[in-house]
Amino acid sequence: MGAEGRAGRGECGEDERAADERAAAAVLAGDEAAFGHLAGRYRHELRVHCYRMLGSFADAEDLVQETLLRAWRSRAGFEGRGTFRAWLYRIATRACLDELAGPARNREIAVAVDSAGVPKRSAPAEVTWLQPCPDALLDLAAPAGSGPEAVAIARETIELAFLAAIQHLPPQQRAVLILRDVVGLPAAETAGMLEVSVAAVKSALQHARATLREQLPERRTDWGRGATGPTEAERALLRRFVDASRAADVTALAALLRADVRQTMPPAHLVFDGRAAVIGMWRAALEGDQAWGDWFAVPLAVNRQPAVANYVRRPGAPTYTAVNIDVLRVADGLIAEITTFAPDLLPALGLASVLTPADVADDANRL
């Protein structure tokens, strides 16, 4: 982080200047189709921005639509003095702040507890509305892989631990942190976007960074700073995790976990701390008379982290039904954290909620 001025310092490439000129001309001409086409160039980048602000993939989808509608309705406010991109960011940020101030959704930080009911500090478990985002959609935010928009998909600011941590910030501080340290806007431009003083921006950023240091894992410095996806070592570990999951091999799964591994399950605010607790919870579903059935796992990529979609075919059932999505954080060659989500987002990941035995046979060699 700390990419001060990485984007939006006033320099912009020839393509962006040309786009700004065309956008200004479209505004003056009242050309909705041209305006929509130009604004649409930033749709995916804005979706990632809204996702960071809200922590929910579904809500981000709604807010990017709202942003583009607001942009057209307030098009007279764009006069070409700043970049078209920065103008859209201002509208998107305002739309997210309005959403966060509204009563429509419950975004209160939960008190996380372990299986015995003992309170535990865990940002992902406390943010019950947290959702993953498919890597395929992150890629669309910066298809060239370079330029100011590339930060939108940088791993260090899209991993779940970071997303969960910034949800603990008050909305205004969150907006300042994202605009300054992620988008890279200077303090004066950030102040203008949020209609506050530069001094207020600097104060909010100082408080936000302090809170972030408290919320992020201690080993955050070990993460792949600037990386845009799982490493080869992480992919190899994922293959072993998938194989062990498909075989319901609890011993093999345990060997892939750090002793201090932690598993959380938004929207439940439960924390399973340590290998014994995690494996004890898994064992009931995988082994013995109470085993759920035949398991099948499919590898995924979300939030620049390795992940797995888990399916089970219950005894006597003809098909495999999706159970959950496990997102992994790897440290020192082992799984350090697992964040488990409901399977609702599988269609966005290009996967069905139900697999037939034929599907499973076809997919068995996917890795």
Q: What domains can you pick out in the chain, each with its CATH number?
A: 14-222 (no CATH), 232-363 (3.10.450.50)
Where does the pLDDT of residue 366 fall: very low under 50, low under 70, confident under 90, or very high at 90 and above?
Answer: low
Nearest alpha-carbon partner for 63 in 39, 36, 98: 98
**Looking at residues 228-251, what average pLDDT do you find?**
92
Confidence check: pLDDT of 268 > 80: yes
In this predicted model, what pLDDT tens digit does every residue of 42-78 receive, in sequence order? 899 999 999 999 999 999 999 999 999 999 888 877 7
Which region among 59-68, 142-151, 229-238 has the lowest average model confidence (pLDDT)?
142-151
Where does the pLDDT of residue 295 fall: very low under 50, low under 70, confident under 90, or very high at 90 and above?
Answer: very high
Instruction: Determine the angle formed by the axes of helices 32-40 and 57-73, rounding to 10 degrees.
Output: 140
- Residue 282: its pLDDT value, please? 95
- Residue 269: its pLDDT value, please? 85
In this predicted model, what pLDDT tens digit does every residue of 108-131 receive, in sequence order? 788 888 777 788 888 888 898 999
For residues 313-336, b (16+ Cβ closer than 10 Å) or e, as one string?
beeeeeebebbebbbbbbbeebbb
Confidence check: pLDDT of 219 > 70: no
Confidence check: pLDDT of 89 > 50: yes
> Pairing between strand 257-264 and 354-355?
unpaired
Query: Which residues, 6+ apart, have CB-to-CB distance to 5 below 8 Å?
Result: 184, 185, 186
- Residue 341 corresponds to which tokens in the numbers above? 């989500």
Where does the pLDDT of residue 237 fall: very low under 50, low under 70, confident under 90, or very high at 90 and above?
Answer: very high
**Looking at residues 196-212, what average pLDDT do you find?**
96
Instruction: Report the chain's mean pLDDT, rounded to a whole number.
Output: 86
Confidence check: pLDDT of 143 > 70: no
- Residue 214: its pLDDT value, please? 86
Q: How far is residue 339's CA from residue 65's CA, in Å, rounded to a whole number? A: 28
Confidence check: pLDDT of 146 > 70: no
Using a pLDDT cut of 70, give the percent of the chain over it.
85
- Residue 26: its pLDDT value, please? 75
Confidence check: pLDDT of 149 > 70: no
**Looking at residues 144-173, what average pLDDT do you find?**
80
Per the model's pLDDT, the better-predicted residue between 84 and 296 turns out to be: 296
- Residue 183: its pLDDT value, please? 87
Where does the pLDDT of residue 3 fall: very low under 50, low under 70, confident under 90, or very high at 90 and above?
Answer: very low
**Looking at residues 88-100, what average pLDDT do you find?**
95
Confidence check: pLDDT of 156 > 60: yes
- Residue 151: its pLDDT value, please? 61
Confidence check: pLDDT of 23 > 60: yes
- Residue 211: its pLDDT value, please? 92
Confidence check: pLDDT of 169 > 50: yes
